[in-house]
Structure 1
Amino acid sequence: MNKGHLTYFNELESYSISSLDTLLGKGSTQELLDLEVIKKNNNTYQFRYVGVITIKDTIIGVLPKYTGYYNWDDPQKFNHFKLIIQSLIIYSKSAYRKHNDEDYLSDADSVYNEAASAYWLLEDFLSNGLWNEYPTEKVLNGGNEIDWDHTINNINPIIQNGNPYYVNYYTNEINWVSENVITQIHEWALYYCNNKYASILGFPITYFYPLEKGKIGSDEYIISKIDEILHEVFDDRKIQLLKRIKLLIQKKSEENSNYISLFGTKKFDTVWEEACKEAFYDQYEEHKIHIESPIWKSTNEKVLKTSAKHIPDILHNHDNAFLVLDAKYYNVQIKDESIDGHPNLGDITKQFIYAHYFNRLCKEKPIINCFLFPNIDNEFTSLKHIGYVDLPLEIFEGERIFNIYISPKELLEMYVGSKNKRFLEQLLTITLPLSTKKEKLK
């Protein structure tokens, strides 16, 4: 698939109902509404989703909300969208991923996922190559080794002195055909997936002969051949390969219906959070012991219930500071000495409280408390300090939360493995000179 085949939209940006209905068809927009991938807002639609949407041969790329303020050309959009998809692939394999109805990142999810199947098929091809196994068939009195199970189940023996004797028998004979049908089907599937998805999935463009599926046979014929081989193979990888190709063909056969494929998420904030955890070497599991649980008591001090603990996004105990970081997927914009899109009072209060859990642990070094926001301003490369949040209460006196912009490009390139981590050192370089040591607790 080349770049020109992608139609781009931005998460949370408003688009006219008529333009989207025209592009996608009313049936498809209704299905996306039912899935809450788009939502109606007055007389417009908004995408509440980041990732790929495939409707027949139309491929839509929905970019994260932080891109909406910038007038990118198509090559810039394509390069960042490719990075988003690679990040979603990494996230889909992550232990942090919360498997719920907000994600469409594997073909085990409720909505068919053509891009996920394409990723599996192309990755499998790079590891294992093209299907090259010749089919076998049962031959009566053939020249190969006898298949005793099939012989005993299908041939009546001659009984002499209580012992069975098989005059006839079955053998497994390899069918040495020059053009294996399964190989052709596999090559067609690879050509289709490579042509449509390889570039945005980050695969090297590989040449596959442009084989037409119709020249192999009808869909019914091809599926019957796949089913035949499925009854003969027991290798898990081969079974998965055949089942994915079969599903791809079945879905392609349904293209006259409102066939929709999704590869993405309605909760891109979880991807942002995980990338930030990776960048700043999250140590929450090591330090959660210091976080106390709320305790409910009766009037006579009997413990009735212990509630769930707070869960900060990122904790890191560095030699020079203790970091308490909140990965905020917010579109914070500072204009003309005003600020929009910032976290609410509840988020701010929680972040101050998180820092207080670690006061006794950090008597001799400062606690660095930060909000981490995505921003693609060209004025900085990785991190940028944009101000503070103060909460003028005596308990929080002298404390502040640093507001930090992070370049999504740099962060996600680190997350997918193409850049080294260096965010922690940069954050400390920015914040340590602006921090003061805590007074020793008495």
Structure 2
Amino acid sequence: MKKMISKFVREQKRYSQNELRNIFELKSDEVDGFIKNLKAFGVLKSVKNNSEQKELSNLIDEDIEISEIESENDAYLYVFTYVGVITVGTRIIKCYPKYLIKADKPLDEMKQVLKVLTKYGSKEQIVNLYNGNGDNKSFNILAVILFLINDYYEYGVYNNTEDIIEINGEGEILWDKTINDSFALISNNRPYYMELYTEKTVDDEYDFFKRLHECILTNCSKQLAKSELLDLFDIPPIELSEENIGDFGDRDYVLYRLQSELNIQFNTRKQILIKTLYAYVAHERTLEDTYGISMYGTNSFNLVWEKVCAEVFSNKLNTPIGQLDLPVELGEGYKSNIRLIDIIEKPLWVGFDDESSIFKKNAKDTLTPDLISVFRNKETTQFIIFDAKYYNIQLEKGKELRNYPGIGDVTKQYLYQLAYKKFIDDYKIDTVKNCFLMPTQGRDIVKKGIVKMQILSNLGLQDIQIRLLPAKMMYEKYLARKIINIGILEL
């Protein structure tokens, strides 16, 4: 039995080649292949090995170095740009978010993060079977296993039904068959039937596809258990079958049966399930295979953080203004069905033709805030412009400012207020607040400070406040679909 090596690494942390070799117990001749595989799938980047890089927690494009020769090369450090789980043969890489600085093995935090990732991607109905092209090497077995297990806990085992005819059963009476096939007693010129034919629909317990589904689910559960991933994904073990896939026939026969079932199945959920079972059987892969990579997670955890903040703070950006709790009624020039996002002006392009006349074209895109909240506190109304920023900011007395949003992020936040100035004035909104929201490992909300540009503050625009939010609390609310009272931010 192959030894499974399961290790935690932190997103955006810099690792030397020797550190990777020691962490994952790699032999000297395995290091190059390990690094190149991870880089090929975009989950590992290389940067210059210098003191400046070691201090950073955020990776930017210009930091990335491409190096063909990795062996015994101390000129580079390696950075995981992924949050989630990666399997590389017998090695399990658990990449936790970069804000978890004070933990080397954050099991509980990682369990919660994976639940957030599952909910974040739950609206996507297509299984990510492949990491890029469709060859066997890039087949994403981990994504398939997790899809099958999550589908089972939501919908149960695949089932086909059969209709059974009974005598004097509890199902629907088949009058045509009863009249034609049974004897009637006549009393007062009325027929009375002592035996009624009835029909009921039952699950076929011996159905080929039900048994195959149970077999594959059991197999998937065993693979996760062997890889020490059942606990990480907080999944109960599944023991539904003692059969092996080989008991159902050779692979071509099983695939033929699955394809035949797909051709007559019109239920969307069952179609997706059959396709996934087909892919599982067709590729004959296990998590511990020595080739290929499987992944479950994201290279863009910043988008996950934005989604969490938007839901927890009740984003009103796409809410019709007629549904907002405003101090005064809607005035002229505002229709109740337009949204806050629609109010922001789009750039107007003016062109000159050959006859010295002009023509105008509106751009399709414009400024788009992450989220906006309209908060009523007694008699006061606040218009709050939030921007969810996935940064580990270093804003400490006696230390250099590091890992902070760039000038473009700061200026856009001021521009958002300018974009809504007329709306805010027209509806007599009392105060406007600007705020960056950043995750923290701590338990309390931290008033971290402000960022300002005097030339824009002189225009009457609000300085941008910075709040560090406990990620654990935010995820709990997000998973429970609960809203946080914005008053606790004390803006």
TM-score class, shorter = 0.7 to 0.9
1:336 matched residue in structure 2: 397
Matched, 1:403 2:466: yes
**Distance in 2 between residues matched to 1:358 and 1:233, nearest whole Å:** 52
Alpha-carbon deviation of 1:227? 4.7
Query: What does 1:235-314 correspond to in 2, within 5 Å?
Result: 235-253=267-285, 258-285=291-318, 286-297=339-350, 302=358, 304-307=360-363, 308-314=365-371
| Counterpart check, 1:7 vs 2:7 | yes
Paired residues of 1:333 and 1:340 also in contact (CA < 8 A): yes
**RMSD value over aligned CA atoms?**
3.6
CA offset at residue 401 of structure 1?
0.7
**Aligned partner (choices 441, 446, 450) of residue 376 of structure 1:** 441
Q: Structure 1 pair 263/112, CA: closer, same or farther in 2 (3 Å)?
A: farther
Matched, 1:107 2:163: no
Contact in 1 for aligned 2:312/2:482 (Cα 8 Å): no
Note the C-alpha offset of 1:423.
4.5
| Residue 224 of structure 1, CA deviation | 5.1
Deviations for 1:207-250, whole angstroms, at most 9, x for unmatched residues? Answer: 44565555666555644554565566555444433332232233
Equivalent pair of 1:323/1:369 in contact (CA under 8 Å): yes
Rate the CA distance shift 1:416–1:105 in 2: closer, same or farther, 3 A. farther
CA deviations on 1:374-418 (whole Å, 9 max, x unpaired) are: 11124x1xx22111112111644573111110111111222222x
Work out whether residues 119 and 201 of structure 1, in 8 Å CA contact, stay in contact via their aligned partners in 2.
no
Aligned AA (1:318): F
- Gaps spanning 5+ residues in structure 2: where? 49-75, 133-137, 163-203, 319-338
Q: Distance in 1 between matches of 2:87 and 2:366?
A: 41
On the 8 A contact 2:433/2:462 being kept in 1, the answer is no
Q: Judge conservation of contact 1:105–1:263 (CA < 8 Å) in 2.
A: no
The alpha-carbon distance between structure 1 residues 331 and 423, as it changes in their structure 2 partners (threshold 3 A), is farther
Give SS of 1:275's match: helix
Partner of 1:40: 46
Which stretch shifts more, 234-243 or 281-290?
234-243
* Counterpart position of 1:436: none
Q: What does residue range 24-423 of structure 1 map to in structure 2 within 5 Å?
A: 26-42=32-48, 43-67=76-100, 69-72=101-104, 74=105, 77-94=106-123, 106-107=128-129, 110=132, 112-131=139-158, 133=160, 182-195=209-222, 196=224, 197-208=229-240, 212-213=244-245, 219=251, 222-223=254-255, 226-227=258-259, 229-230=261-262, 235-253=267-285, 258-285=291-318, 286-297=339-350, 302=358, 304-307=360-363, 308-319=365-376, 320-338=381-399, 339-363=401-425, 364-378=429-443, 380=444, 383-393=445-455, 395-397=458-460, 399-417=462-480, 420-423=482-485
| 2:120–2:304 CA contact under 8 A, matched in 1 | yes
Offset, 1:30? 1.9
Shift of residue 343, structure 1, vs aligned partner? 1.0
1:322 touches 1:368 (CA, 8 Å); kept in 2? yes
Distance apart, 1:133 and its partner CA: 4.6
Map Cα deviations across residues 47-74 of structure 1 (whole Å, 9 max, x no partner). 111112123343321111111x2134x3
**Residue type of the partner of 1:247?**
A
Q: Give, as a single letter, the amino acid of the residue that structure 1 aligns with 2:441.
A: I
What is the aligned residue count? 372
Contact kept? 1:283, 1:317, Cα under 8 Å: yes
Q: State the AA in 2 paired with 1:294.
A: P
Q: How much does 1:277 deviate?
A: 0.8
Measure, in 1, the Cα distance between the counterparts of 2:290 and 2:257: 25
2:41/2:131 contact within 8 Å kept: no
Paired position in structure 2 for 1:440: none
In structure 1, C-alpha distance between the alignment counterparts of 2:303 and 2:13, rounded to whole Å: 20
Residue type of the alignment partner of 2:434: N
CA distance in 2, matches of 1:207, 1:16: 42
Give yes or no for contact 1:387–1:402 (8 Å, CA) kept in 2.
yes
Task: Give the deviation of 1:119 after TM superposition.
Answer: 3.2
Report how far residue 356 of structure 1 moved: 1.9
Task: Name the amino acid aligned to 2:346.
Answer: S
Q: 1:190 to 1:25 in 2, by over 3 A?
A: farther
Where does residue 201 of structure 2 map in the other structure?
Answer: none
The residue type equivalent to 1:389 in the other structure is V
**AA of the residue aligned to 1:114:** I
The answer as to whether partners of 2:140 and 2:295 remain within 8 angstroms in 1 is yes
The 3 A distance-change label for structure 1 pair 26 and 213 is farther
Residues 315-352 of structure 1, C-alpha deviations (whole Å, 9 max, x = no match): 12223200011111111123334432111122111111
* Runs (5+) with no aligned partner, structure 1: 136-176, 432-442
Compute the displacement of 1:292 (Å).
Answer: 1.8
Per the TM alignment, residue 181 of structure 1 is displaced from its structure 2 partner at its CA by 5.5
| TM-score, structure 1 normalization | 0.72
Secondary structure of the residue aligned to 1:278 is helix
Percent identical residues:
24
* Greater mean alpha carbon deviation, residues 329-338 or residues 81-90: 329-338
Q: Distance in 2 between matches of 1:216 and 1:326?
A: 54
**What amino acid sits opposite 2:382 in the alignment?**
A
Q: 1:35 offset after TM fit, Å? A: 2.4
Match of 1:248, SS state, is helix
Structure 2 CA distance for partners of 1:235 and 1:389, relative to 1, 3 Å: closer
State the Cα distance separating 1:274 from its structure 2 match: 0.9
User: Is the deviation greater in 31-40 or in 121-130?
Assistant: 121-130
Asked whether the equivalents of residues 127 and 144 of structure 2 are also in contact (C-alpha less than 8 Å), the reply is no
Aligned to 1:174: none
